[in-house]
Structure 1
Amino acid sequence: MVGLGPRLEFRQSQQLVMTPQLRQAIKLLQSSNLEVSAYVEEELERNPLLDREETTTVAAAPEPAARDCHEGVTSPTIAADPPIEADWSATYETGSLDGRGDGGAGGGTRSDPWDSEGRSLEEVAGARAPTLRETLADQARLAFDDPRDLIIAAQMIASLDAAGRLAADTATIAAALGAPEGQVAAVRARMQRFEPVGLFCRDLRECLAVQLAEKNRLDPAMQAMLDNLDMLARRDVMGLMRVCGVDAEDLSQMVAEIRRLDPKPGAGFDDDPAPAIIPDVLMRRGPGGTWLLELNPETLPRVLVNRGFHAVAQAGARSKEEKAFIAEKLQSANWLVRSLEQRANTILRVAAEIVRRQDGFFRHGVSHLRPLILRDVADELGMHESTVSRVTANKYVATPRGTLELKYFFTTAIAGTRGGDSFSAEAIRHRIRDMVDAEPPEDILSDDAIVERLRAEGVDIARRTVAKYREALRIPSSVQRKREKAMAVL
């Protein structure tokens, strides 16, 4: 029989708590180069032990370069440190579960992804309003299922100017990406209806026309006015009435409607103009058909710990508070330098692996995108998927086909029926389009028939997936296609 009464009992347990240094490393890894530069500037002002390093030479590491060159990619690295998530043991503090030494029944070790205030990692990293390009990228991912369309959209977003204009014509963009002009034109037309409406237009006339079309107000009279904006600027009322075929009252209403439109929808979105995209990684052709990758010196903040000033400050410290302050600043400075080096090294390693796997795209265009998921890169580099996800967000690579965000190179894979190589979802969509285009009016392919043909070609695909891809390609159902082709024959 157990007696009842007070007693003293000690229990010991451990937990992992995110320190400010770990939060800083996570924030730096997922931040864009502009955000990192701003953060480093703040630290330089706040920490007297930090100095700016003027040299930004990127040194090649022989072993990684030799390995990547064998795979068709040569990628210099900037440091011999391990990847950023290799060892966090020094960044965690050990303590009890409730902070009093009583861990409760069971005890043990656990990893807590929230801080003491219950905020998630993303909230810890800091919240901010999305930029124009980030908002457009989110809309593009919702609007397009085709990876080729996403690559085209990414290139257009990167080329947008501060007013929201895209001066490059369809042929130029298509030639740069190795894509059909019709596909580029279709993507551009759809993106012109993104919010805010009127972006990605070549000039003011097209910008106003898209906004009027969205309001269902682009009638012949209004089109005539847009074709003669120079007359509107000169206030040539009689000339506008003549070319538009309207009277003075109608013309006044048309002018008022024009004035309610936004001539620069991109500039009105943000308080500040959208900054030009500066790539984090530079890519160029090397000897023997290889690709050479290097970090962009312009986006690589370099800071050093001022050891001389630290020695002087430490020798002159008198009180415990002064010594503690100097020690804390030294620890913070050392951690920032190491975090920046590891961030740069991780970005370069991930970019090199993506380039190696998507070599066909860089050589032949968007039709040669390979299936790729975060796990593929993470397993190859010995990283966690979340690390690859953070690295590819808001990071850009300047390629011979334009400046593109790293995340756009990830495409869905469709398994093969014979246990062989998987197929890119984009390649399957392209195959479905070819089948439908080649079908005769008397033998229209149903979704089930398309599934059977694809499986005969070694693609393990479900009927609902075929239906989803067909709808994404805006291909009508077999019943509707049969009716339309029968009418065409007549």
Structure 2
Amino acid sequence: MKMEFKLNLTQEQKLIMTQQMQLSVKLLQMSNFEIQNYIEKELQENPVLDAEYKKNDSEKPKDEIDYKSFIKYLEFDDYGHGNYSRDRDEDEISPFNFISAKKSLKEFLMEQILELNESTFIKSICKYMIENIDHKGYLDITLEEIQKELSISSELAESCLNIVQSLEPHGIGARDLKECLKIQLKVKGFQDENVYRIIDNYLEMIAENKYNVIAKELKVDVKKAQEYGDLIKSLEPKPSRGFFTGEETKYIVPEAYIKKINGEYCIIMNDGSIPKLNINQLYKQIINNEDDKETVRFVKDKLNSAVFLIKSINQRENTIYSILEKIVEIQKDYFEFGEAFLKPMTLKEIADHLEIHESTVSRAIREKYIHTDKGTIKIKDLFTTGISRVDSFEDVSTKIIKKEIEELVNNEDKKKPLSDQKICALLKEKDIDISRRTVAKYREEIGIKSSSKRKRF
């Protein structure tokens, strides 16, 4: 075998994403809220940047209170005369005293444990169990592990678990779904053994709507089996629901407002919370100082970053505005008359009109919202494919087709639910020509079960 070294020249094309290009793409994807946070961070790290916040000086801040007028109002209404002392400590009358903190599930359970008429030792075991309850409200540790870790008997562990499971919300501290449902039934006082048998053996059949099989096994009529199923469905499978889990609510900040002004729909960009960025004049002077080359180099780097950031933010806003402008043009009937008039529209269609890449449109609308007369809507929800109508040149949006399917199912006879083939035939009567398989696909996408699982006895 002969081995030798060779030097070859090859020519190839590659797209290399520079750091600046990556930043530009990153900024385009950001929502209004994320842009605000990013700019605040950049202002702290880049001394060259200056921010100008939009503010109407003629107006008082909304949260500014005229305390003198407020006190006069209280005195006029005789609030100062009850059992209140005039020389109270300022902290006592602070409005922050009236703000309630979010209570977590574990805090709620711990409070109930403190009120129990049990020994400190029993309470400490119960508290240990509560600390091992997961985000769904289930006990995330076995009794054997508790016995071993706390060096207690199985009887004591079982007894303490019963105490925890007696707390509110009902079903808390269960080790699985079946136990969770049975705890709730016992609290409600249901003693019919058939309900407990269904939970132990036929829970999956309820989801499948197989009440005829359950009825045969329990030797009851189908209607009674269905009543049992309805009762079980009314129980809470996730007892922690409704309690604070540590995740803060994410608020939607719309990118723009679509308003009808003088008969035309206008786009008003929601950029009031985004500061206008400028270059600090002081640093422009430093560049002319040739004595300190190190400082000049540092300032030039920061200047380049600042200029590119300002350009990228402006470009982001222009891109989003252009996309929204085209969307409003295409979907004018939707903004005027509602969802039934939503036209088929794809990312490619918008990209081709604006002569930009499809991925740019995708990034620009990612997790972004607009505020309209119909409420705040996700921009992505306006994009939908279309199906041709029978004897018509116009396409109908898949979103409208799904709504039609939903309406047909909602108005069906529950004793004889519509099959996919029947839905297909009814849609054809409305000039919507789709196959039975497409009906099944759309039905599943909107979370509607098959006809056999929708049947009521």
- Indicate the TM-score class for this superposition, using the shorter chain for normalisation: 0.5 to 0.7
Structure 1 SS opposite 2:272: helix
1:20: Cα distance to partner? 1.1
Residue matched to 2:387: 414
Separation in 2, partners of 1:417, 1:294: 39
1:338: Cα distance to partner? 0.4
Indicate conservation of the 8 Å contact 1:280/1:295, yes or no.
yes
Residue matched to 2:303: 330
Residue matched to 1:292: 266
Determine what percentage of the aligned residue pairs are the same residue: 33
Separation in 1, partners of 2:186, 2:450: 31
Indicate conservation of the 8 Å contact 1:30/1:393, yes or no.
yes
Summarize deviations over 1:131-152 as a string: whole Å, max 9, x none.
xxxxxxxxxxxxxxxxxxxxxx
Residue matched to 2:39: 40
1:281: Cα distance to partner? 1.0
Residue matched to 1:399: 372
Summarize deviations over 1:294-349 as a string: whole Å, max 9, x none.
1113333320123x323311122435543332322221111101000011112222
Summarize deviations over 1:37-80 as a string: whole Å, max 9, x none.
222122222222211134589xxxxxxxxxxxxxxxxxxxxxxx
Q: Which has the higher contact order (CA 8 A, sep 6+)?
A: 1
Could you say which structure has the larger radius of gyration?
A: 2
The 10-residue stretch of structure 1 (325-334 or 209-218) with the greater mean CA deviation from structure 2: 209-218
Q: Which amino acid letter does the alignment assign opposite residue 283 of structure 1?
A: I
Structure 1 SS opposite 2:304: helix
Structure 1 SS opposite 2:278: strand
Structure 1 SS opposite 2:22: helix
Separation in 2, partners of 1:25, 1:52: 20
- Equivalent residues, number: 298
Q: Which amino acid letter does the alignment assign opposite residue 377 of structure 1?
A: I
Name structure 1 gaps, 5 residues minimum.
58-161, 165-194, 199-206, 224-257
Structure 2 SS opposite 1:279: coil
Q: Which amino acid letter does the alignment assign opposite residue 37 of structure 2?
A: A
TM-score normalised per structure 1: 0.50
The 10-residue stretch of structure 1 (277-286 or 339-348) with the greater mean CA deviation from structure 2: 277-286
Indicate conservation of the 8 Å contact 2:370/2:377, yes or no.
yes
Matched, 1:268 2:254: no
Indicate conservation of the 8 Å contact 1:278/1:299, yes or no.
no
Superposed counterparts of 1:254-403, under 5 Å: 262=240, 264-265=242-243, 267-270=244-247, 273-288=248-263, 290-306=264-280, 308-318=281-291, 320-403=293-376
Separation in 1, partners of 2:437, 2:30: 38
The 1:340/1:10 distance shift into structure 2, 3 A limit, reads same
Summarize deviations over 1:86-133 as a string: whole Å, max 9, x none.
xxxxxxxxxxxxxxxxxxxxxxxxxxxxxxxxxxxxxxxxxxxxxxxx
| C-alpha RMSD of matched pairs (Å) | 4.3
Q: Which amino acid letter does the alignment assign opposite residue 16 of structure 2?
A: V
Indicate conservation of the 8 Å contact 1:49/1:329, yes or no.
yes
Residue matched to 1:426: 399
1:480: Cα distance to partner? 8.0
The 1:163/1:222 distance shift into structure 2, 3 A limit, reads farther
Indicate conservation of the 8 Å contact 2:255/2:270, yes or no.
yes
Separation in 2, partners of 1:277, 1:436: 32
